C-alpha cells in the first residue's frame, strides 16, 4: 500500500456548495488519500463532514482525522491585519490549510506554531525484487 497526498487548491472547491464540498472530500479520503486543502472549511461544513463520516463508518472505512493549521501572528501590524481581513473577505478563506485523512492511515496529527507532525499507521509496502 502506498501513501498518497492530494493537494486541493481553494479555487477547486470555492464554487461548490457545502454538500458538494463534503461529498468531494469524503470521496477522496475514502480512496485512502490524505488531503492537503488550501484554506479551511466553514465551521458548519466541518461539523457536517464529521457527521457524515460517522454515518458512513463500516468495515472498510473507519473514519477520518482532521486538523486545521491556521497561521496566527499576534504581533502583526494593524495595517497588515486589516489588509489580510479584506483579502479574506473578498477571496474566501484561503489562509492556512486543512489536513484530512482516513483513520486507517493517519494515526495522529500534532501541530505547534513551527511544525506539523503527521503520524501514520505502519504501512506494509512490498519491496520490489531486483
pLDDT in tens, 79-94: 676 766 676 666 555 6
Tell me, yes or no, whether 110 lies in a domain. Answer: yes
* Full pLDDT tens readout for the chain, 130 residues: 568 899 999 889 989 999 999 999 999 999 999 999 998 888 899 999 999 999 999 988 899 989 888 766 555 676 676 766 676 666 555 678 899 999 888 877 777 766 677 778 776 655 555 5
> CA-to-CA distance for 12 and 74, rounded, in angstroms?
30
Task: Assess if residue 127 is contained within a domain.
Answer: no
- Give me the domain span that covers residue 86: 4-120
Q: Is residue 61 part of a domain?
A: yes
Q: Is residue 128 part of a domain?
A: no
> Residue 97: what pLDDT?
84
Count up the domains in the chain and report the number. 1
Q: Is residue 130 part of a domain?
A: no
Contact present, 57 and 104 (Cβ < 8 Å): no
Amino acid at each position: 500500500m502506498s501513501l498518497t497526498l492530494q493537494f486541493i487548491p481553494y479555487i477547486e472547491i470555492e464554487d461548490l456548495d457545502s454538500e458538494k464540498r463534503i461529498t468531494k472530500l469524503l470521496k477522496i479520503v475514502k480512496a485512502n488519500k490524505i488531503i492537503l486543502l488550501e484554506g479551511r472549511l466553514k465551521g458548519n461544513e466541518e461539523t457536517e463532514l464529521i457527521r457524515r463520516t460517522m454515518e458512513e463508518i463500516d468495515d472498510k472505512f473507519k473514519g477520518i482525522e482532521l486538523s486545521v493549521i491556521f497561521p496566527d501572528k499576534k504581533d502583526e501590524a494593524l495595517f497588515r491585519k486589516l489588509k489580510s481581513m479584506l483579502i479574506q473577505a473578498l477571496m474566501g478563506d484561503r489562509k492556512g490549510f486543512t489536513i484530512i485523512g482516513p483513520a486507517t492511515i493517519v494515526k495522529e496529527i500534532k501541530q505547534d506554531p513551527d511544525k506539523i507532525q503527521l503520524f501514520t499507521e505502519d504501512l506494509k509496502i512490498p519491496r520490489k525484487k531486483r
